[in-house]
Amino acid sequence: MSNDLFDFGERIDRYAVMGNPITHSKSPKIHSLFAKQTSQAVEYTAIQVDMGGFSQAVGNFCASGGKGLNITVPFKEEAWQLVSERSQRAELAGAVNTIKFDRDQIFGDNTDGIGLVHDLKNNHNYELRDKIILLMGAGGAARGVIAPILEQHPSLLIIANRTPDKAVALAMHFSEFGTVQGCGYGQLNELQFDLVLNATAASLQGEVPDLPEELLADQAMCYDLMYGAKPTAFMAWAAVHGASQITDGLGMLVEQAAESFYIWRDVRPETSSVIEMLREVLNNE
Ligand code: ATR
């Protein structure tokens, strides 16, 4: 019996997440739950890649028969450079978090923004249409979510950043997709927001950008794109300042993974049970 025949039906397709550091990545857990739930023959591992070794690592994974990759910090921009084809949302985000190897093509996509939108709409029952939205931060995390937010037709999106020029430049970059303006935190005094999204790295330092006391509209939602076992500093700020819904980015993490899984497998996993399971894992860490 030839090996081909012997292997037929037994094949497991291999995927991985690449980043540095990668030991705390939740992606292997999420994708193994998706694979089990959808009965897909998928193996998913985490690969730590040395700085300077990214393109080599991607080439090796592809050459060894790997089917696709997730890319995380700090390689998303390099992945954008590396791929041979990009989705429109990846093109605009300037970053790639999902790679699919397709014959001799390397297809790059970015599922972060749609992950945020799906989490808000499907898990929190929150519609973005006609809302006044504040996005804090103008780095890679912020840039990845702007086009998918504007696609939902908010009435206004303000991007605020510690370095205001970066927010202004980002707003200009996305201006053809909706009403979007950039500014510094000191210029937020006139407006009240329905939804405030924190895409800064301030949470990592336990800090909150300098925000006006009256920032939140009635029934405001506050969403931190970061997640952890404990509420972030921004989530604590939101509680003190009267937000009616407060959430972290765990749902976004699972939703962006679900979109990657769909790109690779053409099957949509159910996400709410996976978010619940991950929340438990996080609380027990
Ligand atoms: P990421 O890929 O996580 O977005 P990044 O591209 O380095 O990381 O961007 C970090 C973002 O967090 C930036 O918007 C940064 O503001 P600056 O552009 O002014 O540097 C913001 N940030 C980081 N620490 C902050 C803090 N303590 N307060 C306010 N904003 C902060």
Q: What is the 3-state secondary structure (H, E, C) of 60-121?
A: HHHHCCCCEEEECCCCHHHHHHHCCEECHHHHHHCCCCEEEEECCEEEEECCHHHHHHHHHH
Give the separation between CA 270 and CA 253, rounded to whole angstroms: 14
Q: Packing angle between helix 164-173 and helix 140-150, nearest 10 degrees?
A: 40
Which of 146, 200, 207, 224 maximizes ligand 1 atoms within 8 Å of its Cβ, making it the mutation to test the pocket?
200
Burial (0-12, 13-18, 19+ Cβ within 10 Å), 63: exposed
- Residue 13, judged by CB atoms within 10 A of its CB (0-12, 13-18, 19+), counts as middle
Cα(285)–Cα(281) distance, rounded to whole angstroms? Answer: 6
94 CB burial (10 A radius; 0-12, 13-18, 19+): middle
Residues 108-130: what's their mean pLDDT? Answer: 98
Q: Catalytic positions, please?
A: 76
Q: How far is the CA of 162 from the centre of ligand 1 (A)?
A: 8
Specify the ligand 1 atom closest to the Cα of 143: 4
Which of 193, 200, 201 shows the shortest CA–CA distance to 221? 193
Ligand 1, atom 8: nearest CA belongs to which residue? Answer: 139
Query: Token pair for residue 78?
Result: 């390099």
Task: Please state the rounded mean pLDDT for residues 166-195.
Answer: 97
pTM of the model: 0.94
pLDDT, one tens digit per residue, over 45-103 is 999 999 999 999 999 999 999 999 999 999 999 999 999 999 999 999 999 999 999 98
The whole-angstrom separation of Cα 153 and Cα 275 is 27
Domains assigned to the chain: 3-110 (3.40.50.10860), 113-250 (3.40.50.720)
List the residue whose alpha carbon is closest to atom 18 of ligand 1.
163
pLDDT (tens digit per residue) in 226-267: 999 999 999 999 999 999 999 999 999 999 999 999 999 999
